[in-house]
Amino acid sequence: MKRILVLLLCCVILTSCTGKDTKHERTIFSMDTQIELAVYGSDGEKVLDKAEEEIKRINEKYSVVNLEKSILAQDGETVALIDAAEKIKKDTNGAFDINIAPVMRIWGFYSEEFGKKNHRVPTQSEINEALDAASEGMYFDFGGIAKGYCADKLSWLLRSGGVESAVLSLGGNVALIGSKPDGTPWTVGIKSPFDDGLYATVKVQDTMVVTSGDYVRYFEENGKKYHHIINPATGYPAESDLTSVTIISNSGATADALSTALFVMGKDKAIEYWRNNGEFELILITKDGTIHSTEGVDIQTEHKIKKIKEQ
């Protein structure tokens, strides 16, 4: 469940535009992160205006305000988003759960609390109480799927406006429309979990790239690190052998949720899930620094890499 980014999980490396297309850029702070939009074409400013309106609408509708019951109106859009989240919850045996809001709250991982350093290790009784509240299914945290869903909506909106080349960066969620104006693939950087640099880059086009990691939002207490990706089964930060998960998929919402779920599941189960489900590419970085990447990824890195095969 990815929330406000202290460090960028992904960055897009852009090269200058050639040809007649004009590049239009806009930076917006919304959904707990800095959103960077770059659109190519003569009507870029108009579609960016519409994109900004859509970002604000989704942020207002799905941001966590409090934990009151029935916080969200159950309209068709929300029901569809909940259904998508519930499907991933079922497919991953509960590794992803949008009802985790009470647990996230007591850990102090929401932006307004984390920024004030209102984070601490809860007592076991507090965690048990929060897990009981989460099991009621009445509290929602869309933080693990909303950015991906927003990327999907923006991509559709821009395509409908005639955009054929664009890159949209919503924190750790990157949406690519088409290829670069010169016809070559985009280069997307995978943030290093160990320092401020890049750990790898991938060549992609017309897809979504989403990364989750344990290095984004965390605090330390008594020498132990507590990160924001909570295991819904325990109420504690996931004890994973992974430090970063990247999903490349045609669906931003699915990629967003899976990047969290597979982190919780750990390397072996994440690979097993990919083998059983497919339809997306996978990049895992384990705590020892090894990259595990499916064979369909065009990845460049100076670090040790192991290819994930279908069998």
- Residues 2-51 have pLDDT tens digits of 443 333 334 444 444 443 478 999 999 998 899 999 999 878 899 999 99
Q: Write the CA distances from 198 to 97, 244, 296, integer angstroms.
A: 30, 12, 20
**Could you state, in chain order, the average pLDDT of each consecutive group of 10 residues for the chain (311 residues)?**
38 42 92 93 89 94 59 76 95 96 91 75 97 91 94 96 95 95 96 96 98 93 94 97 98 98 98 95 98 97 95 78
CA distance 190 to 13: 11
Q: What is the pLDDT of residue 71?
A: 52
Tell which residue, 149, 150, 179, 165, has the closest CA to residue 43.
Answer: 165
Kindly report whether the global pTM for this prediction surpasses the value 0.85.
yes
Q: What DSSP letter does each residue of the chain carry, written as one string?
A: ---S-SS-SEEEE-----SS--EEEEEEEETTEEEEEEEESTTHHHHHHHHHHHHHHHHHHHS-----TT-S---HHHHHHHHHHHHHHHHTTTSS-TT-HHHHHHHT-SHHHHTTT---PPPHHHHHHHHHHHHTT----GGGTHHHHHHHHHHHHHHHTT--SEEEEETTEEEEES--TTSPPEEEEEEPSSSSSEEEEEEE-SSEEEEEETTSSEEEETTEEEES-B-TTTSSB---SEEEEEEEES-HHHHHHHHHHHHHH-HHHHHHHHHHH-SSEEEEEETTS-EEEETT--EE-SS-EEEEP--
CATH topology (fold) of 10-16+31-62+144-308: T-fold (3.10.520)
Domain borders along the chain are 10-16+31-62+144-308
Q: What is the pLDDT of residue 72?
A: 52
- Residues 285-298 have pLDDT tens digits of 999 999 999 999 99
